[in-house]
Structures are given as structure tokens and as C-alpha cells.
Amino acid sequence: MLVSLPVASRTSYRLTGHKVWTVHQIVAYNFRRAREEAGWTQAQTSEMLEPFLGMRLNQAGVSAIEKTFDSHRRRNIDVQEVVAFSRCFDRPIGWFFIPPPGAGEDAIEPIAGDKFESDLCGADLTTLVVGAPDGWDSLMERIKELTSTDATAMQSALRNAFGSDVRSKVEQQLELRRQAVQTESLKRLVSHEDEVITGMAKLLVELVKTTPLGMDTLRDRNPEEALELLAEGDRLVQPKLEELKRRRTGRPNRTTRPIMDELEAIDVGEALADRKRSE
């Protein structure tokens, strides 16, 4: 039975004289290509395949597979072998059915062989690998079905396929959206100008540096910057220190605001030296 593909016009390749390949030859071509890309000899490939085939395929066996592509000595490659190839070379199963360069318009021989003309070309194999729209929808439905009946196994399989936990990707996207909403909300509350947001962020960084923990970290990393921050802070509190001094001498100035009684003058140089002495 011929494979039916949604192509605009079908061609009888036996009548037009195109070269004809079997799917076994296509897989054989890709088998050799995978081996060469891996940099393995035929003997090494035999050894690497054994755990996946369940038997030792000697070097002659590997050679026989590869000769299937471009010689008259051909062997059929079964489905179990293709699965083993996929696992061994770390390639998707469909990768082994991609036609060689230049074979896109060549015919793919049907299973019945010479009894029928072919209406399947090499390029059409990519449709079978990727899936036409209806077939893709069916594939997604099958995956959904397995996700509901075999959740743990499917989670592991999808993690292997996509390189990370699917749930973490969803959570990551939710976090990105949360950040986007937060940023936009802040812009609406403050200003539409990016400079305002940037200025607020810089101010926040400076405030964090002046916390006990922030200053402690800064003194280790950049003592000069820590000294500058302490000096700037000392300069800014000078008016408050003067007010406190007047209050303590009994001559309060009623025009200034109340300040914390605990405020005292410090030696900014000593502030850095204290830590070194304590170490």
C-alpha cells in the first residue's frame, strides 16, 4: 500500500527515470553519517552498539549496514535496529530517515518493490518525520494521553527531551510575567520615563550598601568606596549633630527638627580600622 501525502501533484518516478532508493538505504546512509560524525571506527561502533542491540554486531555487520546504501550488497534494517541506532548515536529516530543531500527529488521505493510505481520522493520523508498538521495534532493527543496515564514516566521523558523540568519552565515564564507586571506598575505609579526608574534603582543600591550587612560586605570588597559612603553620611548628619550638641548644652534651637538622641559623631577612618583590628 502506498503512503498518501498531501502533495499538490504526484509523480510516477518509475516513468520519469528518477533514481530510486529504499528506506533501508536511507537509514544506512544516516547510520554511516552518524558513525563518522561521532568519529568512531566500525569496530568501535560495534562495541558501542552492543548494549542497545542486546548482541554484538561485529565489524563485518557494521560494514554490511553501511554498504546497503551504495552497493548491490543490501540488507534490510528492522525497527528494533533503528531504535538502537537512535540510542547509540543520540539522534532522534526521525533523523535516520532524512534523505541524503541531492536525493530530495529521487523516488522512495514502496515495500512491494517492482510491482508498483512510487509516488513518494525523498523530500516527502521529511513530512513523515516532522508530521503534517493532522498528524502533528494526533501526536500531541497521544502525548497528552500518556501524560495523564503515565505522569511520572512522561515527566522524566520530557525532561530528557527538552533538557529541563517542564514545570520549571512554566514557573520561569510565570516569574518573567510577574516581573513584567511589576515593572509596568512601577512605571505607572512613578513616571513614564526610564530615567526615573533607573535613578530609584541606583538609590536603592546605595541604601543597601549603607545597611550593616551591606557596609560589612563593602568594606571587604572595596574599602575606598565604603570610606566615601561613610564620609558622605557624616557630612549629611553634621547639622543634626550640631542641633544635638546645642540641646545637650541647654541652648536648643527651636527652628530645627527633633533628632535621635543616640546620634553621635564618628571617625570614618576608625570605622574601617575597627574591622581590621577585630580580625
Asked if 112 and 206 sit in the same domain, the reply is: no
- pLDDT tens-digit series, residues 16-54: 556 889 999 999 999 999 999 999 999 999 999 999 999
149, part of any domain: no
Residue 240: pLDDT band by 50, 70, 90 thresholds?
confident
User: Which pLDDT tens digit goes with each residue over 163-180?
Assistant: 655 555 655 666 666 666
The last residue of a domain, from among 130, 152, 174:
130
Average of pLDDT values for 225-249?
77
**Other C-beta atoms lying within 10 Å of the C-beta of residue 55:** 10
Region 86-104 average pLDDT = 94
Report pLDDT for 277. 46
In terms of residue numbers, what domain contains 35? 13-130
Q: What is the distance between the alpha carbons of residues 228 and 224, in angstroms, rounded to a whole number?
A: 6
Beta-carbon contacts of 48 under 8 Å, excluding residues fewer than 6 positions away, are: 40, 88
Q: Which of 130, 151, 174 is the last residue of a domain?
A: 130
Q: Does 228 fall in a domain?
A: yes
Q: Transcribe 161-222 into DSSP letters.
A: HHSS-HHHHHHHHHHHHHHHHHHHHHHHHH-S-HHHHHHHHHHHHHHHHTSHHHHHHHHHH-
Q: Residue 209 burial (CB < 10 Å; 0-12/13-18/19+)?
A: middle
- Say yes or no to pLDDT of 276 above 60: no
**Residue 21 and residue 119 in one domain:** yes
pLDDT of residue 247: 74
Chain centroid to CA 75: how far?
A: 39
Let me know whether 122 and 35 are in one domain.
yes
- Give the pLDDT score at 7: 39
Say how far apart CA 220 and CA 187 lie, in whole Å: 35
Residue 252's pLDDT is 52
Most confident listed range (38-47, 126-135, 194-203, 247-256): 38-47
Given 107, 130, 153, which residue is the final one in a domain?
130
Q: Say whether both 121 and 214 belong to one domain.
A: no
Q: Is residue 158 part of a domain?
A: no
Total-model pTM? 0.54
Pair 231, 268: CB distance under 8 Å: yes
Q: What pLDDT does residue 213 have?
A: 75
* pLDDT score of 251 more than 60: no
Within a domain: 164: no
**Stretch 85-97: mean pLDDT, rounded?**
95
pLDDT computed for residue 189 by the predictor: 61
Residue 36 to residues 44, 183, 264: CA-CA distances in angstroms? 11, 51, 77
Neighbours of 96 (CB within 10 A): 24
- For residue 93, the domain's CATH number is 1.10.260.40
Same domain as 123, residue 20: yes
- Does any domain span residue 107? yes
- Domain count of the fold of the chain: 2
For residue 123, tell me if it sits in a domain: yes
The pLDDT > 70 percentage for the chain reads 68
Is residue 99 assigned to a domain? yes
The pLDDT-based confidence of 143 (bands split at 50, 70, 90) is: confident
Neighbours of 171 (CB within 10 A): 11
